[in-house]
Amino acid sequence: MKRVIPLVFPPLHPAQREVVGAAKRFNLLRCGRRWGKTTLLLRLAAQAAAERGQAVGWFAPIYSLLAPAYEELLRRTRPGVVRAAERPQPVIRYVSGGRIEFWSLDSKDVPGRGRAYDLAIIDEAAFAPSLARVWEEAILPTLLDRLGSAWIASTPKGRNAFYELWNLTLDDPAWAHFHEPSHRNPFLSQEELARMAATMTRERYRQEILAEWVDAEGRVFSEDALEAALLLQGPEDPRPGERYAAGVDLARSQDYTAVAVLRLGAQLELVRVERWRGLSYTLTARKVAALLARYEAYAHVDATGVGDAAWEGIRAEWPRVRPIRITGGRDDGRETRSKENLVGRLQSALETQELLLYPHPELLAELRAFEARPLPSGGYAYSAPEGLHDDLVMALALALDAARASRGTGQVLKVPGRWSGLRGGV
């Protein structure tokens, strides 16, 4: 027989009660600082494990955010604890039969692998590396056996994976979405909040206090530019008589191979985006070459750090390719490109609507997350945030580079063999 213990938590404030009362199976909670997000999540976890004897998984981006939750739950539920351990895996077990297991999302292990939970909680989800992948591949399957529920909560951090998950689930009836600015906590000083409004930057106040989606500091591709470029409906098969250029970012380590294809014209139009991983260089080369041949596209291939064999395998199947080495230095006008210049040209093409896009979710997520980070030595480093990918961004930048190299030339490609006489490349 399960033994029920009393929980010692402060009463919920009115906004917290509203959120709990409107909860569904899956819940996204976007709130301002000090609204009471973590306090609410701690209470939900304790009620599930200590009172109802359920299994709970608590997830946080890094261990330093995980430890305070473990310590606070242990302090508030200690009368019902039968065992608590921080190593090797933090866990609190209760006389009710329930348990709370704690997982850091920056671990190399798959969080929650082999577990079944009644409740999963992700705190500070906007700061989690690879949130979408971790949710779909690791956390969501833990809820399958018991038809468990989930709370995914955070203060926003730009338009990253938390923003994408919010938008992707807006029309799903199993999901509830809660937007709670800091002002909704009646225990916070309204005078102090007003002072913060007067002293913080507008963007930071909107994000940290109002919990609004704003462009992250250092973001390269603005939301206005992306929205202005999103004028196309979707991917498109090749059209007779049209000319195409492509960019290829070859996989290294755990990255994806990505291909972007543009139709040439007064405006460049994105017609195809594909990416994959897990194939050998031989199979990757064949797959890339088949896609390029389908569009008869001239392509620039990122040959940085992958060895000549990788891109030469593509050229053996489809010779209208040029290897591009991406560096931190300058362009040489031939086969070397500065990453800063590639990214800058892509940024300009989107802002001026020289380049039009269709709504490809993974590409848009990468563009929104892509950032410029200042270096101690001066200058900037351009990349995806840690844990995310920029393969599609770089494929698109290389496609733009190839398009500008070939657009308007109309030259006949003089290559011996079955591909000779094709038009549109240099």
Q: Specify the DSSP class assigned to residue 125.
A: G
Its pTM stands at 0.57
The yes or no reply on domain 223-406 and CATH 3.30.420.240 is yes
Average pLDDT (41-54) is 94
Q: What is the mean pLDDT of the chain?
A: 86
Instruction: Tell me, rounded to whole angstroms, the distance of Cα 278 from its chain centroid.
Output: 20
Q: Exposed, middle or buried by CB within 10 Å (0-12, 13-18, 19+), for 241? A: exposed
- 91-94 and 257-263 beta bridge pairing: unpaired
CA distance 171 to 165: 11
Residue 242 has pLDDT above 90, yes or no: yes
User: Lowest-confidence range among 38-52, 147-161, 228-242, 296-310?
Assistant: 296-310
**Residue 287: closest CA among 323, 320, 317:** 317
Rg (CA), the chain: 25
Q: Give the ranges where 250-389 is alpha helix by DSSP (H).
A: 281-295, 308-317, 339-351, 361-369
CA distance 258 to 251: 8
pLDDT tens column, 164-219? 899 889 889 999 999 999 999 999 999 999 999 998 877 788 889 999 887 666 77
Highest mean predicted confidence (pLDDT) among 4-13, 194-203, 402-411: 194-203
**Residue 371: closest CA among 352, 396, 395, 389:** 389
The Cα-based distances of 116 to 81, 101, 119 in angstroms read 21, 11, 9
Average pLDDT (5-13) is 81
pLDDT tens column, 312-371? 889 999 999 999 988 876 666 678 888 888 998 999 999 899 999 999 988 998 898 888
Task: Please report, for the chain, the start and end positions of each structural domain, with discontinuous segments joined by +.
Answer: 14-208, 223-406
* CATH topology agreement for domains 14-208 and 223-406: no
**Residue 402: closest CA among 322, 284, 305, 346:** 322
So what's the pLDDT on residue 183?
94
pLDDT tens column, 262-285? 999 999 999 999 999 888 888 999
81 versus 394: the higher-pLDDT residue is 394
The hierarchical CATH code for the domain 14-208 is: 3.40.50.300
CA distance 136 to 168: 13
